[in-house]
Amino acid sequence: MREVAIVAAGMTPFGELWEMSLRRLFAEAALEAITMAGVDHLDAIYVGNMSGGCFVGQEHLGPLMADQIGMAGVPSTRVESACASGGIALRTAFFEVASGASDLVLASGVEKMNDGADATNVLATAADQELEVYHGITFPGLYAMIARAHMEAYGTTEEDLSWVSVKNHRHGALNPKAQFPLEFTLEQVMNSTPVAEPLRLLHCSPVSDGAAAVLLCPLDQAKKYTDQPIKILGTGQATSAMALADRKDPTFLDSVQLSAERAYTMAGVGPDDIDVAEVHDCFAISEICCIEALGLVERSQAARAAASGLTALGGRIPVNTSGGLKAKGHPVGATGIAQIIEIYEQLRGESGRRQVQGARLGLAQNMGGSGASSVVHILERI
């Protein structure tokens, strides 16, 4: 396999972007990346998108999006893996370049969630319709069950959960593209409206519109497009039982551990080597479970990691410097690519006030459903 690099990135702000349609969001992010690299052609496009069909009634995003950026004719494929669609679109693009089949591939993600659809119902399509959704469960509900099991097993508290939100909003306040670039106090988080006990509104990522795109090419051609390419050192993907009830331990995200092991092995590094990480904090509990499963933090320290500053900017392993899904926003199909862009910028030293000094190795972990899909990428500054 050839070595692969990211040479350009583009991203819309995340938020309630009333004036932007699904196609317009994509075009803005894609064209930014294409312009940055100064390319006039693409060999392939991958569009990560969870549910254009349910959110805005639009499927067949491959040709639609290629056409929108003047690239009709280029092979263009929509990739769906619920909230992990973006991360898996990147992985697919990576293999296409690594295999030698293509030299210039756009990996993107887009979601338009604020166009009238009931986001609760649409997001629930990522759970098991027959075994879970039938009975009235919601996505926050599934993660709330994980949270309650975690509390029961490890003594994790509502305060621990709330610190994750406080920390990520502190990070997000430094990110101009974040949907909610503002800080919240612990009290505000702990007193916010209950959504699915023990999760409250400020433990949950928001409903967002947004798009993100990165351009991939073989590492040995990267200097044509940028002075500072970022190498994709490892990729790993895994699945788990779809229904939460079918997992042996509801507190443990085994797909996250498995996908991480595969990425670490491919990259030839371990969790201790990681300088900065973006993990899938769709809910406060998921960040706690993910940093455990990724091996970034010992299981016994995971719940208190945000409170203790371990995962905050300046801590031993800063997690979600972008503000995470919580503060930056979570346009589900775009999230996986947006995480990659945060790491890409961190490794290039472009993160401004949220820069992790000297970051060389970064990890991005993107998850679908209640953890049925997970994809991990490890990026390296070269």
Residues that bind other proteins (CB under 8 A): 118, 120-121, 124, 130-138, 140-141, 144-149, 152, 193-199, 241, 243-246, 250
CA dihedral (58, 60, 66, 67) positive or negative: negative
Q: Which of 102, 113, 112, 114 is nearest to 77 (CA)?
A: 102
Q: Which of 41, 63, 36 is nearest to 52 (CA)?
A: 63
Residue 197 or 220: the one with the smaller Cβ distance to other proteins is 197
**Which amino acid would we find at residue 33?**
A
What secondary structure letter does DSSP report for 204?
B
Residue 141 three-state SS: helix
Q: Which of 365, 203, 339 is nearest to 284 (CA)?
A: 203
Residue 30 or 190: the one with the smaller Cβ distance to other proteins is 190
Question: Locate tokens 């959704």: which residue?
Answer: 133
Residues in contact with 239: Cβ distance below 8 Å, sequence separation at least 6, in sequence order = 255, 372, 373, 374
CA dihedral (119, 125, 130, 133) positive or negative: negative
| Least gap, CB of 284 to other proteins (angstroms) | 14
Residue 4 or 146: the one with the smaller Cβ distance to other proteins is 146
Q: What is the spatial distance between Cα 106 and Cα 30, in angstroms, rounded to a whole number? A: 8
| Least gap, CB of 160 to other proteins (angstroms) | 17
Residue 152 or 298: the one with the smaller Cβ distance to other proteins is 152
Residues in contact with 277: Cβ distance below 8 Å, sequence separation at least 6, in sequence order = 291, 294, 296, 317, 318, 319, 320, 343, 362, 363, 364, 365
| Least gap, CB of 374 to other proteins (angstroms) | 18
| Least gap, CB of 200 to other proteins (angstroms) | 9
Residue 132 or 342: the one with the smaller Cβ distance to other proteins is 132
| Least gap, CB of 143 to other proteins (angstroms) | 9
Residue 116 or 176: the one with the smaller Cβ distance to other proteins is 116
Q: Which of 120, 100, 119, 99 is nearest to 111 (CA)?
A: 119
Pairing of strands 230-239, 373-381: antiparallel
Q: Which of 215, 210, 13 is nearest to 103 (CA)?
A: 215
Q: Which uninterrupted H or E stretch holds 336?
A: helix 332-348
Active site residues: 83, 330
Residue 135 or 227: the one with the smaller Cβ distance to other proteins is 135
Q: Cα–Cα–Cα angle for 340, 326, 214, nearest 5°? A: 20
The tokens for 243 are: 């229904």
| Least gap, CB of 2 to other proteins (angstroms) | 36
Q: What is the spatial distance between Cα 95 and Cα 107, in angstroms, rounded to a whole number? A: 11
| Least gap, CB of 138 to other proteins (angstroms) | 6
Are 356 and 346 contacting, i.e. CB atoms less than 8 angstroms apart? Answer: yes
